[in-house]
Amino acid sequence: MSRYVIIGAGALGTALAAEFDAAGIDSVVVARGAQREALAGGPLRYARPGGVRRVPLSVIGGPADIALTGDDVLVVAVKAHQAQTVLQEWAGASVRLDTDSETVAAETLPVVTLQNGIDTEAVAARYFATVIGASVWIPANFVVPGSTEVHSAGAAGLVWLGEYGSATGDDVSASAVAADLRRADFDAQVVPDIERWKRAKLLSNLGNAIDVLAGSDAERARAEALVRAEADAVFAAAGWDVADYRTESALDIGAFRATPVPGTDGPRRSTWQSLRRGAGTVETDHLNGQIVLLGKQLGVPTPANLRVQQALRRLAGSGAHPGDLGIADVIGPVPDAKGLIDA
């Protein structure tokens, strides 16, 4: 049976560990800072709509703290802008295959990449022989060290995964991970061409940065439509196809709904959580910034995404909180143009 080494102890990483624990699946969490202190000092407070569990987690600080074996699976659960450092750190970690044989993680162990954005899998493939990309839907919150909320009453989350570079979707490693996820209260589907699914998720994640800006619901909807329209233009110029979760997924998306944990305000997007925690950095450079990069490469203007990217970098670096800057302050008055809302 596999042991999962979950690198990153944010909302997703700790939710995975808690659900693995309930399913009897072995896991270790790699944490740092205040979160490591909180988890090493006591059990995780894990709240879902049905109640609160206290889950003791095995917590380490890095590769030096664990003896890896050939049965381990590395799960990279940090934010997109932190992934390359983690991948470099773990690629050379020693792996004991038997009493007389030793190798390194990059050559032997599969690595599962859970990041928003579309570039982590390519980065991972520079180091690791087997890269399993994943697109995850989970309404999880992590704001206070030692506490995680998952605001779903049915499955904890939905996961689409597949080996990076595979066009068939029949990878043995991805199928084994999917089977364990299903045991751990996640609905999971192995798909061919995981890049299509990651691109589709990126389009929805472009609004993460706008979520932290003050404004009305109408302003927010128009702003999200504007950055999405630029992304659509970039993808069209690149000739990129994207998956349609509603028509292509075998998972029951319609039954997956956010159900707030009692006594909370419900789920918030990941960038809002990072800013609220005072993390100092956010993943916007790998979301809206990815659209800006592609726009430069393909000659497609992306001014709204650029302004959002720059504003979020300033906000995170200054220690600002969600709502400290308005939508109009960042991208100006957003035209209420028919077509943008439906883009």
pLDDT value of residue 334 = 56
Nearest to 171 by CA among 134, 136, 199: 134
The yes-or-no verdict on residue 337 having pLDDT over 70 is no
Model confidence pLDDT, tens digit, residues 16-47: 999 999 999 999 999 999 999 999 999 999 99
Mean pLDDT for the stretch of residues 230-237:
98
- Run of H or E residues at 133: strand 131-137
Model confidence pLDDT, tens digit, residues 87-134: 999 999 999 998 778 999 999 999 999 999 999 999 999 999 999 999
pLDDT value of residue 294 = 98
Q: Where are the alpha helices (DSSP H) in the chain?
A: 11-23, 33-41, 83-91, 105-108, 120-125, 172-183, 194-205, 217-238, 245-248, 270-277, 288-298, 303-318, 327-331
Q: Quick one: pLDDT band at residue 170, thresholds 50, 70, 90?
A: confident
Mean pLDDT for the stretch of residues 60-72:
97
What letter represents residue 283's amino acid? E
pLDDT value of residue 99 = 72
Label residue 212 exposed, middle or buried (CB < 10 Å: 0-12, 13-18, 19+): buried
pLDDT value of residue 265 = 86
Q: What 3-state class would DSSP assign to 27?
A: strand
For 175: left if phi > 0, alpha if psi spans -120 to 50, otherwise beta; the answer is: alpha
Q: Quick one: pLDDT band at residue 180, thresholds 50, 70, 90?
A: very high
CA atoms within 13 A on the CB side of 167: 0
The yes-or-no verdict on residue 338 having pLDDT over 60 is no
Distances (CA, A) of 253 to 200, 244, 247: 15, 12, 10
The yes-or-no verdict on residue 225 having pLDDT over 50 is yes
pLDDT value of residue 335 = 54
Distance CA 7, CA 32 (A): 10
What letter represents residue 325's amino acid? L
Please enumerate in sequence order all residues whose Cβ is within 8 A of that of 35, keeping only pairs 6 or more positions apart, or say none.
Answer: 9, 10, 145, 146
Write down the pTM of the prediction: 0.94
CATH code given to domain 3-331 = 3.40.50.720
Neighbours of 254 (CB within 10 A): 7
- Domain parsing of the chain, residue ranges: 3-331
